[in-house]
Structure formats: C-alpha cells, structure tokens
Amino acid sequence: MDGEGGSFGLARSAAVKLSEMGERTKQLGSAMRDPHQQKRIILVIVCVALLLDNMLYMVIVPIIPDYLADLESEQSEHVHLVLHPNTSSANSTSQDKSNKDNLDIQIGVLFASKAILQLLVNPLSGTFIDRVGYDIPLLIGLTVMFVSTCIFAFAENYATLFVARSLQGLGSAFADTSGFAMIADKYTEEAERSRALGISLAFISFGSLVAPPFGGVLYEFAGKRVPFIVLASVCLADGFLLLTVIKPFSNRTRENMPVGTPIYRLMIDPYIAVVAGALTVANIPLAFLEPTIANWMETTMHSTQWEMGLTWLPAFFPHVLGVFITVKLAAKNPHLQWFYGALGMVIIGASSCTVPACKTFGQLIAPLCGICFGIALVDTALLPTLAFLVDVRHVSVYGSVYAIADISYSIAYAMGPIVAGQIVHNLGFVQLNLGMGLVNVLYAPALLLLRNVCQMKPSYSERDNLLDEAPQGLYDTIKMEEVRAKKKGYSSSGNCLSVDENGFDPFRAQQSSGPEYT
C-alpha cells in the first residue's frame, strides 16, 4: 500500500508539474503574440545578431596574427630546412623580415575582406530585403554567420580563414541591414525609434570593444576553436529564437505591402547622401586606428601586450554614455538631430588630432574615449534620421536606406586595414591623425543641410517626382487618401511644422489635426 501511495504521489506531482509547464508555455505564447512584447523580443533578436557580427569582426584581432605567424614560421622553417640546410643566420634573419612583411599584408587583406564583400553585396541585399521583407534576410544572415564562425573554428590554413572572413561579410550584409530596417519598421514613433536604434548601437559597441579581450583570453587558455564555438552557439540560439517568434516561413502575402524606393534613387537624394557621407567620415578614425595604433604604441611608448589588448575597452563606457545622452536630447529636441551629429564630428576631429601627442597609455585613453563618444553622437542622431527621410520623402520601406548606411560603414572599414598602413608608412602616424581630424571638422558644416528636415511632411507631388510612378498597392492608396485629407488641414507632430518640398508652408496657419504617422 505504501508503495502504491508513493507511486500515486509521484504521478500526481509529475502531472502538476506538466500542467504548470503547459500553463507557462501558454503564457509565453500569448506574450509572443502581444504586439508590444513581440517588438521587444524582435529588438533582442536584432541586438544579439549585431552583437555577434561585431564580436566575430573583432574577436580575430588577438587570435589571427599570432595563429598565422605560427603557421608561417612552421612552413618557412620546413621549407628552409629542406632547401637550404646550410644557410647562414644573416640570410635567415633577412628571410624572417621578408616573411613578416608578407604576413602583415596577409593580415591586412584578411581583415579588409569582410568589409569589401559586405560593400559589394549591400546594394543587392537592400533590394532583396525591400522585396521579401526583413525576417527572411535576417535568418539568412544569421545562418551564413553561423557557417562562417564554424569555418573559423576549424580552419587550419590562410585560404580557409579568408573564405570564412568573406562569408562573414556576406552574412553581415543581410543581418545588419535587415536588423536596422526591422527596428525602424516596428518602432514608428521617432522617440521610440531613436531609443531602439540607440540600444542596438550600444550592443554593437559592446561587441566591438569586448571581443578582443574575450578572444585573447579564451585563445590563450582554451585554444583557437573555443571562442568561435561559443559565438556559433549563441548565433544558433538567436536563429532558433527568430524562427520561434517571427516565423519567417509562415503564410504571408506581399501584394498589398508597399513597394520600396530603388536604392539608386535613395543614393541621389541629397539629404540621404549627406547622412551617408557623415557616417563614413565619422567612422574613419576608428577604422584607421584599429590596425595601426598597436604598432605605434609599441614603438613610441613601449606598451605591453595587455595594454595594447585593452586599448579600446575603456572607450565602451563613453560610447554608451553618448548613445544615452543623444537619445534623451533627441526626445526633447528632435529638430536638433543634425546639430548632435555635427557636434559629434567636431569631437571626433579634435580627439583624433590629440592622439599623436599622447606619451603614456593613461593619456591615450582620453582621446580614444572622445572618438567613441563622438561616434555615438553621430550614429545615434543620424541613423533614425535616415528612416525619417524615407518616411517623408520616399516610401516607408527601410531595407535599401539601411543598406546605404551599411555601405557607408563598410567603405571606412574596407579602407582601414589597407590604406591606413600605407599612409603611416609613407607620411607618418601624426599626419594620419591630423588628416582624419581635419576631414571630420570640415565635414561637420555639411549637416546644416539637415536643419529643416524635421519640418518636412509627406507630399504627393514629392513622391510622384521622386519615384516617377503611379500609386501602387494599399500603401499608396492610403497615402492618396491622406493627401486629399490634407487639403483641409495638415497634421503635425511635436515641434515639426508642415512645409512642401520647396520649403513653402501653405498650411502653417491652420490648426494641427493629430499625429503625423500611424
């Protein structure tokens, strides 16, 4: 009897636990169906994808040079012993110098290959995202990044590493662009959108700045494969979460979804072109200093390996601070987004010019923090501006415009590992920093072109002139109805005033009738 009672008690407790698990699963499912909760989960998925991309981009910094040097030394030693068993030590030293120069070129090409392929693929990925939506391209990007990370883990020669690095660029072209576009699409209010994009930028910063010490420590104590296996596991989990929450391959129709503006038309929009140029120029100091500053620190201030490895880590905190400050200021004064970006470029320029004057590791931290703080101001202010420009001047489909933003970043990071070393070799490290600082300060006034962006409103004539096509689908039908309604009165949002495409305000005296967007 006691045995039967014990079995009955176990069965009852198991049934209660199963019932509790079922209830929790049901609650989780209902939470995922709630639009507000789903937006938060989507933001988490995108932030993790951006974190992974930037960690994979930077985790190889302490690993690959040492790993390739070991491979190169083993191969050269083997060849040397086979072909020249009696070569003098002087010739051997000369050969080592030649091998080091060749290794530097290989590392530079390997680092740049990701950004170069990303630069080439982005125009295609932006158009593809506009056609099929944001979820499938994000899944494609995560899948390619997972494959790339696995190849990195098990690669044993330079060719395989090059393939893995290039594949990462392909994955980034889909994951980064669709991630930013998905955030802009889900968060339609300007303050909410700025906050969500700011959070994603904080994850990018965290991934870029934490990855080198993360990779260096695991490489030192656990071997080359472990850091990449950890990142691949997180990437796989993020992909499964995407499949669970968004269900990219569920039944879906795109017949009534808006037709996005072609990417070449967005590129010739002067406002978008100014923003894209600012993103490129602002990120040049970071892209050019990353491959050159370690050698300069070793030469001028005789820095130790741990100092060179932790060079950029303190800059994470001012970057997050810059994101936080810009989001708060943009919520209060959205019409000053251009000013925050221009201020960030001036800070970047001033900080870049002071880098060569530093004599110790402690002194160097200040200008590097200034560069990252300025980049945070520029990115946080201008990335939401791109989405706003598409809303008011084109069609609210964001794949192509964030592909342009990704192209802007890729230009800087593709040139960095290749061009920066040549400039330092031919002109010097001081001239490199002064040039980058001067370019940022001189470009800042160009953002004055954006000072009246907040006053723009969607205009039928503007859309017709920009797209040269008849209204298509449900989106344009709604827009035509809005245009008819605006004949009786324009709506306004915040401090933004309604003007037409020429800057003339025919409805300024009329009373505002509600929010600008739904």
Q: What is the pLDDT of residue 217?
A: 80
Task: Count structural domains, the chain.
Answer: 2
Tell whether 201 and 271 lie within a shared domain.
Answer: yes
> CA 69, 119, 122, 287 torsion: positive or negative?
positive
Tell whether 438 and 461 lie within a shared domain.
Answer: no
Structure tokens at 321: 């601070």
Q: What is the pLDDT of residue 63?
A: 78
- Compute φ and ψ for 499, nearest 5 degrees: -140, 160
DSSP state of 156: -
Q: Quick check: is 239 in a domain? A: yes
Contacts of 446 (CB under 8 A, 6+ apart): 274, 277, 278
For 124, 261, 268, 307, 403, the CA distances from 264, given in Å and listed in that order, are 11, 8, 7, 45, 11
Q: What is the pLDDT of residue 482?
A: 55
Q: What is the pLDDT of residue 491?
A: 40
Rounded Cα–Cα distance for residues 189 and 334 (Å):
12
DSSP state of 303: -
Contacts of 309 (CB under 8 A, 6+ apart): 62, 212, 213, 216
**CB contact at 8 A, 151 and 167:** yes
DSSP state of 364: H
| Domain extent for 372 | 29-75+112-250+258-455
Q: Quick check: is 487 in a domain? A: yes
Contacts of 134 (CB under 8 A, 6+ apart): 178, 179, 181, 182, 185, 399
Q: What is the pLDDT of residue 375?
A: 93
For 84, 127, 168, 445, the CA distances from 145, given in Å and listed in that order, are 43, 20, 5, 38
Instruction: List, as own/partner pairs, every contact residues 103-109 make where C-beta atoms lie below 8 angstroms and the sequence separation is at least 24, other chains included.
Output: 103/65, 103/68, 103/69, 103/72, 104/421, 106/68, 106/158, 107/64, 107/65, 107/68, 107/417, 108/291, 108/417, 108/418, 108/421, 109/162, 109/417, 109/418
CA 312 to chain centre: 17
Contacts of 52 (CB under 8 A, 6+ apart): 142, 145, 207, 231, 234, 235, 238
For 43, 120, 161, the CA distances from 309, given in Å and listed in that order, are 31, 31, 22
Tell whether 421 and 462 lie within a shared domain.
Answer: no
Q: Quick check: is 51 in a domain? A: yes
Q: Quick check: is 119 in a domain? A: yes
Rounded Cα–Cα distance for residues 218 and 38 (Å):
35
**CB contact at 8 A, 207 and 49:** no
Tell whether 424 and 475 lie within a shared domain.
Answer: no
- Name the packing angle between helices 361-393 and 270-289 (round to 10°): 160
Tell whether 374 and 491 lie within a shared domain.
Answer: no
Q: From the CB of residue 78, how many other CB atoms can be counted at a distance below 10 Å?
A: 10
Exposure string for 493-504, b = 16+ CB within 10 A, e = fewer: beebbbbeeeee
Q: Among 409, 436, 455, which residue terminates a domain?
A: 455
Tell whether 428 and 465 lie within a shared domain.
Answer: no
Tell whether 384 and 309 lie within a shared domain.
Answer: yes
- Give, for 190, the enclosing helix (H) or strand (E): helix 190-222
Structure tokens at 5: 């009672």
**CATH, residue 372:** 1.20.1250.20
Tell whether 350 and 463 lie within a shared domain.
Answer: no
Q: Among 455, 472, 504, which residue terminates a domain?
A: 455
- Compute φ and ψ for 116, nearest 5 degrees: -65, -45
Tell whether 451 and 461 lie within a shared domain.
Answer: no
Q: Quick check: is 82 in a domain? A: no
Q: What is the pLDDT of residue 433?
A: 93
Q: Among 431, 455, 479, which residue terminates a domain?
A: 455
User: Digits of tens for pLDDT over the chain (518 positions)?
Assistant: 555 555 666 666 666 666 666 666 555 555 556 667 778 888 899 999 999 988 888 888 777 777 777 776 665 555 545 555 555 444 445 555 555 556 667 777 888 888 889 889 988 888 888 888 888 899 999 999 999 999 988 888 888 888 998 999 999 999 989 998 888 888 888 888 888 888 888 888 888 878 877 887 888 788 788 888 999 999 999 988 888 887 766 655 454 566 778 888 888 989 999 999 999 999 999 888 887 888 888 888 877 767 776 777 888 889 989 999 998 998 888 888 899 999 999 999 999 999 999 888 888 899 999 999 999 999 999 998 888 898 888 887 888 889 999 899 889 888 887 888 788 888 888 999 999 999 999 999 999 998 888 777 664 434 444 444 444 444 444 455 555 555 444 443 434 444 444 444 433 334 333 333 33
> CA 484, 485, 491, 497 torsion: positive or negative?
positive
Pick the closest to residue 54 from 277, 290, 226 (CA basis).
290
Q: Quick check: is 368 in a domain? A: yes
Question: CA triplet 269, 271, 274: central angle to 5 degrees?
Answer: 105
Tell whether 415 and 403 lie within a shared domain.
Answer: yes
Q: Quick check: is 18 in a domain? A: no
Rounded Cα–Cα distance for residues 438 and 482 (Å):
46
Tell whether 235 and 128 lie within a shared domain.
Answer: yes
Tell whether 492 and 451 lie within a shared domain.
Answer: no
The answer for 223, left when phi > 0, alpha when psi is -120 to 50, beta otherwise, is left
Q: What is the pLDDT of residue 506?
A: 39
Rounded Cα–Cα distance for residues 65 and 291 (Å):
11
Exposure string for 10-22, b = 16+ CB within 10 A, e = fewer: eeeeeeeeeeeee
Q: Quick check: is 328 in a domain? A: yes
Q: Is 360 exposed, middle or buried (0-12, 13-18, 19+ CB in 10 A)?
A: exposed
